[in-house]
């Protein structure tokens, strides 16, 4: 999280409920010295409550703590000067943000943006606490374990962007979100790292092929088999 994030924070006293909540979501904390963790939570941990679409950190800013998600979800993305956005990954309860982690470990500026995708609560570990906890092997293994998992996810994103046809990616995205998806074409373009006009053109092709039915901010899958064929690489008919 960055020092410029527009969020509401409050430091909490040491409470069993907060400590138990953190340990339940991040069981690695139970393997650290209990007295030290309780003292750090009581003295230094801040809790942030934010609404949907609230900015949490921005690329190029300083990271001022290690966020632990208590509830909700954080969307981490990269933006371009032209206004295009590419989602990198999402962080939920019990997970960790590797962009924040890399910034703290390397004392470097953040390289992506973080936004709450839904109403979200986070516990923020100040940098000194993060540094102290990473001296313990269990917490260090947790942090680098998340790094490995996220690296695999990011490589999949790179493969999709660099090597997979956009119509295949769009078809796969629709299949992964149920029979009816309620969103704008612009939101889909943001998710896929492209522009609205291309998404609209592809959706029109999908509809012409009988794979989907389009409505206002609504996409209904009517032929999942046809959509799966497109996702596997069979081009949708031109319109």
Question: Over the stretch 99-117, which tens digit does the pLDDT of each residue have?
Answer: 999 999 999 999 999 999 9
Q: What is the mean pLDDT of residues 224-238?
A: 78
* pLDDT at site 164: 60
Of 88-92, 201-205, 229-233, which range is least confident? 229-233
Domains of the chain, earliest start first: 8-161 (2.60.120.10), 164-231 (1.10.10.10)
Task: Quick: pLDDT tens for 8-33.
Answer: 344 434 445 889 999 999 999 999 99
Q: What is the pTM of this model?
A: 0.67
User: Could you report the per-residue pLDDT of 37-75, keeping only the tens digit for each?
Assistant: 999 999 999 999 999 999 999 999 999 999 999 999 999
pLDDT at 235: 63
Least confident segment among 39-53, 88-102, 178-192, 201-215? 178-192
Assign 3-class secondary structure to the chain: CECCCCCEEEECCCCHHHHHHHHHHCHHHHHCCHHHHHHHHHHCCEEEEECCCCEEECCCCCECCEEEEEECCEEEEEECCCCCEEEEEEECCCCCCHHHHHHHHHCCCCCCEEEECCCEEEEEECHHHHHHHCCCHHHHHHHHHHHHHHHHHHHHHHHHHHHCCHHHHHHHHHHCCCCEECCCHHHHHHHHCCCHHHHHHHHHHHHHCCCEEEECCEEEECCHHHHHHHHCCCCCCCC
């Amino acid at each position: 999280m960055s020092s410029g994030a527009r969020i509401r924070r409050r430091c909490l006293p040491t409470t069993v409920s907060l400590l138990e909540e953190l340990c339940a979501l991040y069981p690695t904390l139970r393997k650290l010295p209990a007295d030290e963790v309780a003292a750090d939570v009581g003295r230094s941990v801040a809790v942030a409550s934010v609404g949907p679409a609230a900015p949490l950190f921005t690329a190029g800013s300083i990271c001022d703590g290690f966020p632990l998600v208590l509830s909700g979800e954080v969307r981490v993305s990269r933006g371009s000067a032209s206004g295009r956005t590419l989602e990198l990954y999402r962080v939920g309860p019990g997970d960790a943000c590797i962009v924040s982690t890399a910034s703290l470990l390397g004392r470097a500026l953040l390289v992506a943006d973080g936004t709450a995708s839904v109403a979200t609560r986070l516990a923020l570990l100040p940098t000194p606490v993060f540094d102290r906890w990473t001296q313990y092997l269990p917490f260090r293994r947790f942090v680098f374990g998340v790094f490995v998992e996220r690296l695999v996810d990011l490589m999949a994103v790179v493969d999709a962007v660099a090597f997979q046809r956009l119509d295949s990616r769009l078809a796969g995205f629709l299949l992964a979100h149920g029979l009816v998806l309620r969103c704008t074409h612009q939101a889909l373009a943001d998710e896929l790292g492209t522009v609205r006009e291309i998404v609209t053109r592809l959706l029109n092709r999908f509809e012409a092929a009988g794979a989907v039915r389009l409505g206002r901010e609504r996409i209904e899958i009517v032929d999942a088999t046809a959509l799966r064929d497109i996702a596997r690489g069979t081009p949708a008919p031109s319109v």
